[in-house]
Chains A and B, each alone.
Chain A
Amino acid sequence: MQTVKMVVTGPFNAGKTEFIRSVSEIDVVSTERKISSDPERVKETTTVAMDFGRITVDDDLVLYLFGTPGQKRFDFMWEILSEGMLGFVVIVDSARPETFREARSILETFRAYAPTPYVVAANKQDKDDAWDMEDMRIALRLSPRVKLLPCVAVEKETVKSVLLELLYSILAEMDEDRS
């Protein structure tokens, strides 16, 4: 059985666990704990080590989706999780501009770990106070080449679109390498 992995990363409370949960065929194995510090008390629990979901592709291939802990103090896990990944998705909460800078920093950190393709998912686009995609592109300083995709992590179809776009990018990069 061959296994491959993609990493889902992003700031705290961006929606990484929901993203994986939407497409995983197993209950997401999540190591969540009660939040102890006030600034992070936006939700009741958060991912402290990692969570992962699974998609069985066929009899001899399984795709694992690894979610990174969003809080900075667990960033020692990021490099471990990034080893051997096919690519990664950076999830950004479109309605929390205060996290954009951190998202940018996480993106740069992962790019430094491995030169693999990535896409950026603008999550929570269904919220009234979500930023426009183009405003987010400018705010996140993403070049036009980087795919910035609208997403609602609890909706399976948008999550599928994000994963497919990442896979298309991986294919395109393979073609570029060959030419």
Chain B
Amino acid sequence: MALKGNLRDFTITQLLNLINLAQKTGTLVIESPGQAAWVSFREGKLAYAQVGQEDNSLATILYQAKKINAAQHRLIKERAANMSDKELGLLLINASYLSQQDVLASLQSHFTGVLQRLFAWGDGLFRFENDILPPDGKIMVRVGLENIILEGTRRMREQEQLQDEIPSLDMALRFVDRPGTNIRSLSLSVDEWRVVSFVNPRNSLRQIAKAAKKNDLEIRRIVYGLLQAGLVEIIRPIGASPIPTVQRPVASQGNKEEQKSLINRIIQRIRKL
């Protein structure tokens, strides 16, 4: 059945985790505004990856990996234009230009790099095409996804930590009253200045983010830096109502046997529905 959705709701890290655990074979197609990517997997391992119309030929990958020089790259492009990657790889290995290890390591590094770039894609439709793999002439590798997932998780962890530090964007900021601090003498980035210019107990972080054209993660990252620097503090916005308190539910008491009997009666009844 279908494995498809949007990266807004289901991150690359989660997708890779799923593909890894379910040991899936097939191609993940991602279509983001203005770009597309195809990433193939065999039994849960990365096999191939391509973004858009980028040159994914073996010759170019070897050149980018500095395994061949510019002249060799040009020569191969001219003379071996009709060769498949597999044929070219065999030719280079048999002619002792490169070892099999050189070829595979270059491809692994390239495909892993392509996949890591996809972590920055926060939006885009994806679908997993079961059992669809790249054409025969392409060389597939076998890279475990664990390390790639770990890297993605590190990035997500940053996001989660920021979420913990600044859980609500409905709060406001105010400057910390510290004698001797001159905000104008501080060295702030353009983005930080933009946020600082909106600091006011009446402006919620959400409003500041909107005004400064920042997404939730970006505004948290900037505000976290300002908090760490001791420039601002988080307060409830002026005019906000106090947080309502709710009572914990009281645990039900009663004889265990009676409760079991009650549950069994319900079971009997539902079976008869």
Contact = CB atoms under 8 A, between A and B. Distances in A.
B5 A98 contact: yes
B273 A131 contact: no
Interface in A45-90: 55-58, 61, 63, 76, 79, 82-84, 86
Given A100-B10, A129-B2, A55 B21 contact: no
A167 interface: yes
Nearest to A134: B22
Contacts of A83: 249-250
Interface stretch (A12-20, A26-34, A170-178): A170-178
Interface of B: 1-6, 8-10, 14, 17-18, 21-22, 244, 246, 249-252, 256, 259-260, 262-267, 269-271, 273
Interface of A: 2, 4, 23, 55-58, 61, 63, 76, 79, 82-84, 86, 95, 97-101, 113-114, 128-132, 134-135, 138-139, 156, 160, 163-164, 167-168, 170-171, 174, 177-178
A83 B249 CA distance: 5
Contacts of B265: 57-58, 61
A58 B264 CA distance: 12
Given A138-B17, A167-B263, A58 B9 contact: no
Interface of A is mostly: helix
By Cβ-Cβ distance, the 5 closest A-B pairs, closest first, are A97-B5, A98-B9, A129-B2, A83-B249, A57-B269
B26 to A, nearest CB: 12
A163 B8 CA distance: 32
Contacts, number: 96
Contacts of A171: 260, 263-264, 267
B258 to A, nearest CB: 10
Contacts of B246: 79
B256 A113 contact: no
Contact of B267 (A4, A128, A130, A167): A167
Given A58-B269, A95-B2, 20 more contacts: A2-B262, A55-B270, A55-B273, A56-B269, A57-B266, A76-B244, A83-B250, A84-B252, A86-B263, A98-B10, A128-B1, A129-B1, A130-B1, A131-B2, A156-B273, A160-B273, A164-B270, A170-B263, A171-B263, A177-B256
A131 B256 contact: no
B9 A23 contact: no
Contacts of A97: 4-6, 9-10
19 contacts: A2-B262, A55-B270, A61-B262, A63-B266, A83-B250, A97-B4, A98-B9, A101-B10, A114-B251, A128-B1, A128-B2, A130-B2, A131-B1, A132-B3, A135-B18, A139-B18, A156-B273, A167-B266, A171-B267
B249 A138 contact: no
B27 to A, nearest CB: 16
